């Protein structure tokens, strides 16, 4: 074992000395009749020779100060009567409350930990407190204040850590020696010392093992490559093939702030594919198309009860994006429909817009912008403006635009111009928000699709549940996830 020192005996001694602190004695009355009090100092009773010499002002003729109390350890013995199984290990699974950026606790769950504690060793600590007094009245004043506290013992606490099973102990008064003087006193006037002996059962603990709980979010199997041989990625670090595993191969439909479970028999279900099916032209059809392909939505409760318990506002669903990033949000159940989970997205995980937002997605054949303002932008879903277009209109003037282009009005020239050319995009992954609906769209290189809404097939989404799984005592398995 590496060097370990936590000052455990020292902490018990500190608590003992604090108990005997803050007592006082009367030294007479002032002119106004008020009683004068003098605090009785408490010191640890075995100073080094050098310190003791300094206290005596480097002289053997200096008298010790009185009154005062000196404490010291008389014995420290192994307490075999309290010995328990020395090989016992206790595990505790703990959850912190989350902390915000300002260091304040929130109502969300934070990190999880497993604490493994080895059975501590029992000891009996015997301590003596010597009371130095210059007369009997001082001694009686001090002892009367101390003795009534021990009836028959006094409970102490080494630490306020509630998982520390050695923090509580008690101090028991075991003996009193009223005076150190002999009878007859004799000619010398030495300081009278009364000795109180105390006993306390304590525990000495070895270091504990603290493990931070993790959450398995994805299982990747890449042992074999496409040719059936051992994957070279095991050696050179590049994965030749991957298999993403989702329990029961379920898909997920994301529509607005609602999530639905999809079955696994649809023709679009595939392993390791892109797994994203979204539409920009008619946002309502994505739901209908999903049900036609995958079948009716499934009951969330029947599925989730197999893996854990949903904690509203804490449990998460993470959506894998084509660029490898994740859109993360918390989930909540609803009593209105067991096939729906409510989804609250962390806006910080949504991709940032690369293009200025558009007012609407329009069909230029039927839409009239009225009197446009400078900078008004629209995303068009039909060609406009040349001889091959399906229509021509004086509304757009000399504008020539194709499907997927974003057009913008310039009040200085009084004309509509192309702000984004879908037929000749750059290499940037472009995102834009429709201000009319609040929906963000992503340009695939050929068309605009919803940024993160749509269908996610197996391996492209994961759910993080907190607790509720009772089939194993392994702390690391208490959080259930998919895929």
Asked if residue 456 has pLDDT above 50, the reply is: yes
Percent of the chain with pLDDT over 90: 16
pLDDT digits (tens, 9 = 90+) for 164-210: 878 888 999 999 999 887 666 555 556 788 999 999 999 998 888 88
pLDDT digits (tens, 9 = 90+) for 378-406: 999 888 877 665 555 678 888 888 888 99
- Say which residue, 229 or 76, is predicted with more confidence: 76
- Reference 346, options 102, 108, 111; nearest CA is 108
pLDDT digits (tens, 9 = 90+) for 247-289: 566 778 888 888 888 765 444 433 333 444 443 333 334 445 6
Residue pair 269/295 in contact by the 8 Å Cβ criterion? no
pLDDT score of 78: 94
Mean pLDDT within 451-457 = 82
Quote the mean pLDDT of the chain.
77
Rounded Cα–Cα distance for residues 293 and 317 (Å): 23
Rounded Cα–Cα distance for residues 37 and 466 (Å): 59
Mean pLDDT within 7-20 = 89
Rounded Cα–Cα distance for residues 16 and 166 (Å): 16
What contacts 24+ positions apart, CB below 8 Å, involve 375-383?
Answer: 375/408, 375/409, 376/408, 376/409, 377/406, 377/407, 377/408, 377/409, 377/419, 378/406, 378/407, 379/404, 379/405, 379/406, 379/432, 379/434, 379/441, 379/448, 380/404, 380/405, 380/406, 380/407, 381/280, 381/281
CB neighbours of residue 164 within 10 Å: 16
Residue pair 129/142 in contact by the 8 Å Cβ criterion? no
Percent of the chain with pLDDT over 70: 72
pLDDT score of 145: 92
Element (H, E) at 361: strand 360-362
pLDDT score of 280: 34
Asked if residue 347 has pLDDT above 60, the reply is: yes
For residue 39, list its beta bridge partners. 24
Residue 22's pLDDT band, with cuts at 50, 70 and 90, is: confident
Residue 442, SS3 per DSSP: strand
Strands (E), 1-160: 24-29, 35-39, 42-44, 68-78, 89-99, 105-118, 121-133, 153-157
pLDDT digits (tens, 9 = 90+) for 137-152: 999 999 999 998 888 8
Element (H, E) at 145: helix 136-147
Asked if residue 124 has pLDDT above 80, the reply is: yes
Highest mean pLDDT among 122-131, 178-187, 331-340, 433-442 belongs to 122-131
pLDDT score of 135: 87
Asked if residue 478 has pLDDT above 50, the reply is: no
Mean pLDDT within 211-231 = 55
For residue 329, list its beta bridge partners. 317, 345
Q: Is the dihedral of CA 23, 27, 28, 31 positive or negative?
A: negative
Asked if residue 52 has pLDDT above 70, the reply is: no
For residue 416, list its beta bridge partners. 409
Q: How is residue 293 annotated by DSSP? A: H
Residue 51's pLDDT band, with cuts at 50, 70 and 90, is: low
Asked if residue 421 has pLDDT above 70, the reply is: yes
Least confident of 80-84, 100-104, 162-166: 162-166
pLDDT score of 469: 38
CA distances from 463 to 110, 119, 213, 263 (A): 17, 38, 16, 16
Residue 258, SS3 per DSSP: strand
- Reference 93, options 116, 118, 125; nearest CA is 116
Rounded Cα–Cα distance for residues 55 and 317 (Å): 69
């Amino acid at each position: 074992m590496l060097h370990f020192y936590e000052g455990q005996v020292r902490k018990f001694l500190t608590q003992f000395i604090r108990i005997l602190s803050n007592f006082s004695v009367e030294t007479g009355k002032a002119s106004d009749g008020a009683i004068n009090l003098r605090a009785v100092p408490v010191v640890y009773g075995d100073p080094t020779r050098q310190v003791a010499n300094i206290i005596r002002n480097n002289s053997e003729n200096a008298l010790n100060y009185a009154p005062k109390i000196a404490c010291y350890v008389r014995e420290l013995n192994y307490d075999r009567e309290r010995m328990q199984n020395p090989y016992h290990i206790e595990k505790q699974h703990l959850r912190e409350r989350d902390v915000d950026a300002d260091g304040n606790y929130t109502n969300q769950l934070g990190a999880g930990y497993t604490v493994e504690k080895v059975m501590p060793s029992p000891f009996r600590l015997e301590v003596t407190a010597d009371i130095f007094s210059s007369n009997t009245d001082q001694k009686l004043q001090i002892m009367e204040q101390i003795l009534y506290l021990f009836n028959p013992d006094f409970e102490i606490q080494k630490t306020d850590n509630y998982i520390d099973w050695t923090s509580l102990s008690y101090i028991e008064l075991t003996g009193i020696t009223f005076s150190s003087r002999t009878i007859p006193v004799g000619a010398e006037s030495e300081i009278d010392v009364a000795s109180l002996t105390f006993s306390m059962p304590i525990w000495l603990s070895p270091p504990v093992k603290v493990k931070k709980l993790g959450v398995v979010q994805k299982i990747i199997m890449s042992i074999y490559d496409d040719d059936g041989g051992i994957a070279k990625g095991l050696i050179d670090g590049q994965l030749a093939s991957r298999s993403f595993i989702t329990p029961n191969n379920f898909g997920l439909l994301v529509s607005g702030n609602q999530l639905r479970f999809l079955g696994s028999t649809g023709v679009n279900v595939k392993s390791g594919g892109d797994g994203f099916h979204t539409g920009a032209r008619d946002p309502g059809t994505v739901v209908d198309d999903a049900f036609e392909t995958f079948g009716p939505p499934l009951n969330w409760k029947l599925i989730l009860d197999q893996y854990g318990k949903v904690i509203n506002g804490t449990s998460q669903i993470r959506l894998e994006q084509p660029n490898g990033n994740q859109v993360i949000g918390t989930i909540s159940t609803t009593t209105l429909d067991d096939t729906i989970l409510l989804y609250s997205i962390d806006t910080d995980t949504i991709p940032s817009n690369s293009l200025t937002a558009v007012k609407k997605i329009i069909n230029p054949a039927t839409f009239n912008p009225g009197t446009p303002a400078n900078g008004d932008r629209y995303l068009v879903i039909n060609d406009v403006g040349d001889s091959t277009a399906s229509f021509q209109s004086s509304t757009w003037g000399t504008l020539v635009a194709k499907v997927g282009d974003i057009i913008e009005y310039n009040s200085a020239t009084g004309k509509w111009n192309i702000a984004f050319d879908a037929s000749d995009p750059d290499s940037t992954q472009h995102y834009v928000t429709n201000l009319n609906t609040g929906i963000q769209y992503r340009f695939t290189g050929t068309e605009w699709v919803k940024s993160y809404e749509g269908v996610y097939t197996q391996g492209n989404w994961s759910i993080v549940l907190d607790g509720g799984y009772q089939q194993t005592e392994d702390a690391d398995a208490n959080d259930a996830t998919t895929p």
